[in-house]
Structure 1
Amino acid sequence: MPRKAFTAEQIINKLREAELILNQGTTVPEACRKIGVTDQTYYRWRKEYGGLNVDQAKRLKDLEKENVQLKRLVADLSLDKAILKEASPGKLLSPSQRRQVIAKVRIRLGISERRACQVLGQARSTQRRKESITDDEAKLTLRIIELASKYGRYGYRRITAILQIAGWRVNHKRVERIWRKEGLKVPQKQSKRGRLWLNDGSCIRLRPEHKDHVWSYDFVAERTINGRAFRILNIIDEYTRECLAMKIGRRITSQEVIDKLFELFLLRGIPKNIRSDNGPEFTAKQIRNWLNRIGVNTLFIEPGSPWENGYIESFNGKLRDELLNREIFFTLTEAKVLIEEWRKDYNQIRPHSALGYRPPAPEAVMSAVLT
């Protein structure tokens, strides 16, 4: 027969009944037989509940239950702490990382999969899912690493665009997964700057509306390894984001600026506006008179406000971030070659976020990527 469980109230009543029987001169075994328990049970009850009333016995049982619950809670918290300590000290950002850590924790602590998944925030279905690796995974990984090595300042979205242009059937999620798995990353850039707005809410800067509507040009300074400085004249089309020309020289005069613009005007046509800062090469009477004679409006930004010329400043930042800060130029000739190669990549290969991750000059993209 299964053992009968007595409540605290029943135990107290049986002890009182036994006490009355014993007061009549009956022995303990006889009293135990009459109340229906063994001698061992009687002595155990008397030890636990002797001298207690029913309310006190109930309270004692409640305290025992609370004590058991607290012990279980402390044990659970200790186990959770041990699981988190055994896991990776950093953040587990991907399901694959959690999957590996959970397997390691289960082996070392001997806990269940359910408990490990609950503590580390992993769905059990995700933990049990077998990762499927396609046949081209290794080849794609090598290609991503090659592009990341070649274009060190490109993130996984630009790499995805390059792969798609080259014919890979891949989305940014898969590239991001491989990107994180291989530990690839791009260091954080400087924070964005605001624009100069007028009191009426309009922006000082004329916005480009079509190709050859607004050009911008500006200078960037750099040095060769012997410490000698050279300058780079950058000219871009603000609407298409295309870099039209980059002239390199130890010094570039106003006449040389006119010569370079003359070449571009013959090749592309005359723009409606051209924007620049207030540098002496751009504000010189010679160049201003020449531009006015051929019908080009000159737009000068406010002194000390480079954000008004945001397109060319953004281009200069990409040039310095992706090339100038990564290369050591031994000679001026080497600088000209490398800078021109970067200009071609910028126009034909580099995906531009403002253009839907397409290059500024996409007609030459496929041949450039395949070669």
Structure 2
Amino acid sequence: MVIGFSRTHQYYKHRQPAKDWVTKQSIEATLRDHPSYGHKRLALHLKLNKKRVLRVMRLFGIKPYRRVTPKLYTKPKDSVFPNLLITETPLGPGDIYASDFTYLKYHGRWVYVATVLDVFTREIVGVSVLTTHSTQLVLNALANAVLYCPPPRIVHSDQGSEYASMDYAALVQKLGILQSMSNPGCPWENGYQESFYKGFKLDLGDPNRFATLGELVAAIYQTINYYNRYRIHSAHKMSPVQFVATL
């Protein structure tokens, strides 16, 4: 027996990610039927501790849908592609990617940033920055992600027109990747990217402080590099690159 080493602690650390993933799937399944539930109602519905539910929601960036104004209920349309993440768990680095894009207002114009995130490591593996909102934005990000690494088994996104386009679907198919999409009106199903962009914009700061577009683009890449290499991720208690080094 090694002094100071707990087998119980080792077992807990080994089992916890799997338990969290099961809890995540239960939360997402409940939110599809009860989209306005917060963590307290989810805990009551699932008969789980509310602190555990809140921790898992924060871990995976799951947020309940909040309506700004009341709207008449309409049945959501079927997904262009099914949400494979309801049943699929990442088997390791490079297995499942999640893709999304955001926009930054810069001196009266828009700058668009698309990223591809490794769901297992939480590392940003693909980036694209353009001043136009087009399918090319997300095509470039995916191409960047597979430039030096093998294609993933699954790539997930929301149902934006860019990801539903024939060009994007053709590239995904050509790479031998399974395409997955969040269900309509379920933004929490791509919570990995939602959570990343929230921190990314805080770390980047005000885009208008940069004198030129080139300086802003350089800062975008520097901020992503900082996130990958140095920013502590709550899921791993270390940066994504540091986490990969432990595998």
- 1:3-82 matched pairs, under 5 angstroms: none
User: Post-superposition shift, 1:242?
Assistant: 0.4
Are positions 1:281 and 2:151 aligned together? no
CA–CA separation in structure 1 for the residues paired with 2:135 and 2:115: 14
Q: What amino acid sits opposite 2:86 in the alignment?
A: I
Q: What amino acid sits opposite 2:194 in the alignment?
A: E
CA–CA separation in structure 2 for the residues paired with 1:256 and 1:222: 14
Task: Tell me which of the two structures has the higher relative contact order, counting C-alpha pairs closer than 8 angstroms and 6 or more residues apart.
Answer: 2
Alignment-derived partner of residue 186 in structure 1: none
- 1:75-94 matched pairs, under 5 angstroms: none
Asked whether the 8 Å contact 1:236–1:243 carries over to 2, the reply is: yes
Q: What amino acid sits opposite 1:268 in the alignment?
A: C
CA–CA separation in structure 1 for the residues paired with 2:62 and 2:142: 31
User: Post-superposition shift, 1:359?
Assistant: 1.2
Asked whether the 8 Å contact 1:216–1:276 carries over to 2, the reply is: yes
Asked whether the 8 Å contact 2:104–2:110 carries over to 1, the reply is: yes
Deviation sequence 1:146-203 (CA, Å, 0-9, x none) = xxxxxxxxxxxxxxxxxxxxxxxxxxxxxxxxxxxxxxxxxxx9x96249xxxxxxx8
Q: What amino acid sits opposite 1:193 in the alignment?
A: K
Deviation sequence 1:83-102 (CA, Å, 0-9, x none) = xxxxxxxxxxxxxxxxxxxx
Q: Which secondary structure does the structure 2 equivalent of 1:235 belong to? A: strand
- 1:159-198 matched pairs, under 5 angstroms: 193-194=63-64
CA–CA separation in structure 1 for the residues paired with 2:195 and 2:169: 25
Q: Between Structure 1 and Structure 2, which shows a larger proportion of strand residues? A: 2
Asked whether the 8 Å contact 2:127–2:145 carries over to 1, the reply is: no
TM-score, scaled relative to structure 2: 0.60
Alignment-derived partner of residue 229 in structure 1: 110
CA–CA separation in structure 1 for the residues paired with 2:201 and 2:110: 15
Q: Between Structure 1 and Structure 2, which shows a larger proportion of helix residues? A: 1
Deviation sequence 1:5-35 (CA, Å, 0-9, x none) = xxxxxxxxxxxxxxxxxxxxxxxxxxxxxxx
Q: Which secondary structure does the structure 1 equivalent of 2:127 belong to? A: strand
The structure-2 alpha-carbon separation of the partners of 1:323 and 1:260, relative to structure 1 and needing over 3 Å to count, comes to closer
User: Post-superposition shift, 1:222?
Assistant: 0.7
**Aligned pair partner of 2:175 in 294, 316, 328:** 294
Asked whether the 8 Å contact 1:216–1:235 carries over to 2, the reply is: yes
CA–CA separation in structure 2 for the residues paired with 1:194 and 1:363: 29
Report the count of equivalent residues: 167
Q: What amino acid sits opposite 1:232 in the alignment?
A: V
Alignment-derived partner of residue 262 in structure 1: 143
CA–CA separation in structure 1 for the residues paired with 2:117 and 2:150: 14
- 1:246-261 matched pairs, under 5 angstroms: 246-261=127-142
Alignment-derived partner of residue 204 in structure 1: 86
User: Post-superposition shift, 1:326?
Assistant: 7.6
The structure-2 alpha-carbon separation of the partners of 1:308 and 1:363, relative to structure 1 and needing over 3 Å to count, comes to closer
CA–CA separation in structure 1 for the residues paired with 2:198 and 2:96: 19
CA–CA separation in structure 2 for the residues paired with 1:265 and 1:274: 11
User: Post-superposition shift, 1:311?
Assistant: 0.8
Moved more, 293-302 or 253-262: 253-262
Q: Which secondary structure does the structure 2 equivalent of 1:247 belong to? A: strand
Asked whether the 8 Å contact 2:114–2:137 carries over to 1, the reply is: no
CA–CA separation in structure 1 for the residues paired with 2:238 and 2:200: 18
The structure-2 alpha-carbon separation of the partners of 1:304 and 1:328, relative to structure 1 and needing over 3 Å to count, comes to farther
Q: What amino acid sits opposite 2:97 in the alignment?
A: W
Alignment-derived partner of residue 220 in structure 1: 102
TM-score, scaled relative to structure 1: 0.41
User: Post-superposition shift, 1:252?
Assistant: 4.5
Asked whether the 8 Å contact 2:207–2:216 carries over to 1, the reply is: no
Are positions 1:360 and 2:230 aligned together? no
Q: Which secondary structure does the structure 2 equivalent of 1:351 belong to? A: coil
User: Post-superposition shift, 1:352?
Assistant: 1.4
Asked whether the 8 Å contact 1:205–1:308 carries over to 2, the reply is: no
Q: What amino acid sits opposite 2:177 in the alignment?
A: V
**Aligned pair partner of 1:338 in 192, 212, 219:** 219
CA–CA separation in structure 1 for the residues paired with 2:244 and 2:96: 23
Asked whether the 8 Å contact 1:223–1:329 carries over to 2, the reply is: no
Asked whether the 8 Å contact 1:348–1:364 carries over to 2, the reply is: no
CA–CA separation in structure 2 for the residues paired with 1:347 and 1:299: 24
Q: Which secondary structure does the structure 2 equivalent of 1:246 belong to? A: strand
Asked whether the 8 Å contact 2:116–2:141 carries over to 1, the reply is: no
**Aligned pair partner of 2:152 in 267, 271, 274:** 271
The structure-2 alpha-carbon separation of the partners of 1:208 and 1:281, relative to structure 1 and needing over 3 Å to count, comes to same
